Amino acid sequence: MLVHIPNVLTAEDLAYCRKTLEESEWVDGKVTAGDQSAKAKHNLQIPQKSEVALELGDVILRALGQSALFTTVALPLRVFPPLFNRYDAGMQFRSHVDNAIRPLPETNFRIRTDVSSTLFLSDPEEYDGGELIIEDTYGSHSVKLPAGDLVLYPATSLHHVAPVTRGSRWASFFWTQSMVREDAKRTLLYNFDCSIIEVRKNLSDDHPAVLGLTATYHNLVREWAEL
């Protein structure tokens, strides 16, 4: 399931992130890649444990906490602290799959990467190329969103970032361990929840149909959730 969530960041938060990143030091992006991914990766990143990454990561996590759509789509159990990357002209990230397990920094916990997310911090007109290309059973999907918008997709997907030919593409990226690990089940629950929202527009919350659908949704979550 690939879902676009618009306006995750407010204009003020986006401007603050951009200004802070402009004044920050970037390093080779291979520092957070696995052995195979490192051979395909050519970009820059903000150091993962830097004060900038931690501060701006908190800005994004707060924004995600206020996004009902993110919760509906990802059903998050844990979210990996957001990272920040940059692709200047000539840079790209060839086809790869994200690491299945990642250690959470400064903890003894690990996270299973069920859902991958990219939060765009540059507007499309600021650069040429740089599309996020996601492969699934229905083909290739090219994603290039306005600054402040987020795309979520299964971390099991082959994907790549096309070469940037002009300008600079900035983004935040992170992973979510979902309470429901299987993408097919998350998709079913997402579609079910969207249908409930539409039904509630025409019926009262205490209507038997609304109550029955809502109960079934939560019982499915109860059946499939892993905590």
Number of helices followed by number of strands (H, E) in the chain: 6, 16
Q: Is 86 annotated among the ligand-binding residues?
A: no
Q: Is 159 annotated among the ligand-binding residues?
A: yes
Cβ count near 213 (within 10 Å): 18
Contacts of 52 (CB under 8 A, 6+ apart): 20, 21, 24, 46, 84
Contact 126, 104 (CB under 8 A): no
Q: 150 has which bridge partners?
A: 5, 119
Q: Cα–Cα–Cα angle for 44, 67, 177, nearest 5°?
A: 60
217: its two tokens: 């949704």
Q: Which of 3, 1, 5 is nearest to 146 (CA)?
A: 5
Q: Is 96 annotated among the ligand-binding residues?
A: yes
Q: Is 169 annotated among the ligand-binding residues?
A: yes
R_g (Cα) of the chain, nearest Å: 18
Contact 122, 169 (CB under 8 A): yes
Q: Return binding residues for 2-oxoglutarate.
A: 169
Q: Return binding residues for Fe cation.
A: 96, 98, 159
Q: Return binding residues.
A: 96, 98, 159, 169
